[in-house]
Every structure is written in structure tokens, then in C-alpha cells.
Structure 1
Amino acid sequence: MAYSEGWVTERARDGYQHGRASFGVRPERSALLVIDMQDEFTRPGWSPYWVPAATRMAPRLRQLVETCRAASVPVIWTIFDDTHLGLDRPHALQYLPHSDTGWCRPGPAKVWGPMGYRADEALIRKPSYGAFYDTPLDTMLRNLGRDTVIVTGTLTNYCCGTTARQAYERGYKVVVGSDVTATDDESRQEPELAVLRKGFALVLSAEEITHQLIGHASGTRNRANVT
């Protein structure tokens, strides 16, 4: 059988727009990753790296955090920080056009206060975009018995997208929150989600994630009551 250029192009386009991974979101197998919702990116006007879209979606993400807590889904936070004097960052970073403004953080990096980070939840200070790069995240997830990660936070096409790809390569089922991720140029949001949707992750809204978590949790309770 010969496949026409039009057929393969349309098939690819459909995967980017409508592709859907075939696994569900089970609370007992999942962990929520809240990527870099820190002052630099979410506190309005505080730094030249502010991501206004992240500030706008923060209340929705905060609600998802609370949903996960209620469903006994571990919440793991990350911060993009100056670890080990910067010596553990990828060497090539210094050559990239990362819009260095000369701005220096006044004090240690912190999760933005309104996000409601709790001291009894894990916080990873990472040296690069992906949350698995040179961090204990993989070990932490395996110790927790979790094989599914729900990726949220900012920036969608840098730290979130890189984390999603790293998780996929390590054998995790990856969920990406379509409306609980954000980037500094909103025209880049859907193109990044499209790539993740077709090749790396199950892309769902916060409402869809909540529905699956609550639905599975309710089903588990109902089965327990029957037995």
C-alpha cells in the first residue's frame, strides 16, 4: 500500500491536535510535580523573568494542589536555583541567548507564597531545566511507589516540557496540565502542548485531572466498603 503525502500529513496533524495517551490517572500511582512556581516567575513585577500567565493560572494550580493533598497524591515542588555555585549547571548554558539582564535575586529562591507550599512536602532545588537532571527526583518517586507524574508549573516549553520528556525516557506515565502550565510567550503554549500530546504525555486540563483523581479515589473507597 502506498501512503500519500496528504494522508500522512493529516495523520500527523491529528496526533498533534487530538492525540490522547491510553492510560488513566490513578491517585495511588501518581505524584504532582509543581515546577518552579517561585518568586522570579510568578510574583507580579518582582523580576525581569516574571511570567504573567503563570501568575494568572496560579489559583487554578493551587486548587489542584489541594485536590492532590486530599487524594493522598504526593506533591513535589521544584525551584530553579543557584545550586553548588552554579558548577552543576550544563556548561553550554553560558553560551545561550537566555536574556541575561544582570538582575540578581535578593536572597534565597523561594516558592511564591500564595502557592501554599508546606514544609512537610518535598522541595527540590534543581540546577537546570528538567527536574530529573542531577537531582534525587527519580529515587524519590520510586521510593514513593509512583509510576505516574503530573507535570504543572512554568515554563511550559522549558522546565515543564523538559521534565515531561525526562520522565517519559525513564519509563514514567506522564500527564501534563494544559491550563496549569504557563510560558512567557503565550503563543508558545499550544505548540509545546501539541508535541507533548503526540509523543510524550497525556495532556489534560486541571478539571480533567481532578475528575480522574476523584473518580478513581471514589471507586477505590466503594470497593473497600463492599468488601
Structure 2
Amino acid sequence: MDYTEEWVTSRARSAYERGQASFAVRPERSALLVIDMQDEFVRPGWSPYWVPAATRMAPRLRRLVDHCRGADVPVIWTIFDDTHLGLDRPHALRFLPHADTDWHRPGPAAVWEPMGYRDDEILIRKPSYGAFYDTPLDTILRNLGRDTVIVTGTLTNYCCGTTARQAYERGYQVVFGSDVTATDDESRQEPELAVLRKGFALVLRAEEIADRLSEPEPKP
């Protein structure tokens, strides 16, 4: 076959726009990761890092959290925090433009209260974008016997997307919530979903994730 430039481009575009991973999403093998739905990103007007799209999608994500609880899918929360006096953060972070602000968090970092975080659920305080970087997340998931992670939260193209890539590289099956993730510039949402769809994750809406978690187990 003669692989023309037009054929190759068309094939790539189809994978970015309509590609779909082929693995099943089983509740007994899955864990829900709720990434950084914390005050400075979700609480309206509270910080210069507010992500309005995250506030808007929060009720939908809260419903998915409740659905996962009902399906015995562990809910694991993360917070982007000043752990170990900031000395465990990648050194270059301080030089990047989004960190250029005089704002300081007025109190301890916490999950935004309307999200309904519970004390009997795991909360990981992470020093960088990805939830696997210098955290016990991988060990926790393996101890739980979970090989599928459902990534939700904010920001789509930073902490959520990095976590999805890290999970993929560690051998996890990754589900990425297309309408239960959000970013600070909504024009960046679909380009990030396109890359994840083609190379890293099964990209689904919250309703689709809930439906798949509720499907009966296939007979052997």
C-alpha cells in the first residue's frame, strides 16, 4: 500500500477526534481520582488561580462521586499543596509564568466543601502536577487491587492530563472524564482531550462512565 500524506493525516485526525480505547470499565477494578478540586481552583473568586469552568462542572462531578461510592469504587482525592516546605517540588516550577503572583493561601489547603469530601476517603497532598509524582498513589492503588483509574478534576491540561499520562506509563487503564474536568482557558479543553483520546485514555462523559460502571459483569 502507498501511504500518502493525505491518508496518514486523515487517519491521525480520526483517532484524535473519534478514537476509543477498547478496555472494559469494571467497578471492582476501578478507582475514581478527584484531582485538585480545592478552594483556590474551585471556590468562586477566592484566588487568582480560580478556574470558573471547574466551578460550573463541580455539581456534575459530585454526582459521579456519589455514583462511585454507591458502586463501591474507591474515591481518592488530591490537593496541590505546599508539602515539605516546597522543597519536594520540581525546582523549575518557580520560574514558570503561572507561578508569578504575590497571592498566598490564607489557610490550609482543603477540598472545596461542596464537593463532599469524607474523612474516611483517601486524601493525597501532592507537590507537583501529576498525582503519582512523589506520592503513595501507585502503592495505594495496587493495595486496593485497582488497575483502572478514572481521572476527573482540574486542570485538564496540567494536573489531570499529567496524572493520566503517569498512570498510562505505569500500566494502568485510564478513563478520562471529558465533562468532569476543566481548565482555565476553555479553548484548551478539547485539544488536550484529543491527545489523551488518541494515545493515553478512554475519554468519556460522566454519564457514560456511570453507565459503564453499572453494566452487569460479562459472563465468562
Question: Within 5 Å, which residues of 2 pair with 1:54-69?
Answer: 54-69=54-69
Which amino acid in the other structure matches residue 81 of structure 1?
Answer: D
1:181 aligns with 2:181: yes
Question: Within 5 Å, which residues of 2 pair with 1:193-204?
Answer: 193-204=193-204
1:103 paired residue number: 103
Which amino acid in the other structure matches residue 17 of structure 2?
Answer: Q
TM-score normalised by L of structure 1: 0.95
Which amino acid in the other structure matches residue 56 of structure 1?
Answer: R
Q: CA deviation at 1:27?
A: 0.1
| Structure 1 SS opposite 2:153 | strand
2:14 paired residue number: 14
Structure 2, unaligned runs of 5 or more: none
1:2 aligns with 2:7: no
1:155 paired residue number: 155
Q: CA deviation at 1:100?
A: 1.9
2:29 paired residue number: 29
Q: CA deviation at 1:94?
A: 1.5
CA distance in 1, matches of 2:180, 2:100: 26
Q: CA deviation at 1:97?
A: 1.4
Which amino acid in the other structure matches residue 7 of structure 1?
Answer: W
Structure 1, unaligned runs of 5 or more: none
Structure 1 residues 26-72: Cα deviation after superposition (integer angstroms, max 9, x where no partner): 00000000000000000000001000000000000000000000000
CA distance in 2, matches of 1:2, 1:58: 49
Structure 1 residues 165-191: Cα deviation after superposition (integer angstroms, max 9, x where no partner): 000000000000000000000000000
The CA RMSD measured in Å over matched residues stands at 1.0
1:119 aligns with 2:130: no
| Structure 2 SS opposite 1:98 | helix
| Structure 1 SS opposite 2:163 | helix
Which amino acid in the other structure matches residue 92 of structure 1?
Answer: A
| Structure 1 SS opposite 2:97 | coil
1:70 aligns with 2:70: yes
CA distance in 1, matches of 2:114, 2:80: 18
TM-score normalised by L of structure 2: 0.98
**Residues 35 and 159 in structure 2, CA contact (< 8 A), matched pair in contact too:** yes
Q: Size of the alignment, in residue pairs?
A: 219
| Structure 1 SS opposite 2:123 | strand
CA distance in 1, matches of 2:194, 2:6: 20
**Residues 167 and 174 in structure 2, CA contact (< 8 A), matched pair in contact too:** yes
Structure 1 residues 86-131: Cα deviation after superposition (integer angstroms, max 9, x where no partner): 0000011122112422100011000000000000000000000000
| Structure 1 SS opposite 2:215 | helix
Which amino acid in the other structure matches residue 192 of structure 1?
Answer: E
Which amino acid in the other structure matches residue 107 of structure 2?
Answer: G
**Residues 93 and 99 in structure 2, CA contact (< 8 A), matched pair in contact too:** no
| Structure 1 SS opposite 2:198 | helix
| Structure 2 SS opposite 1:184 | coil
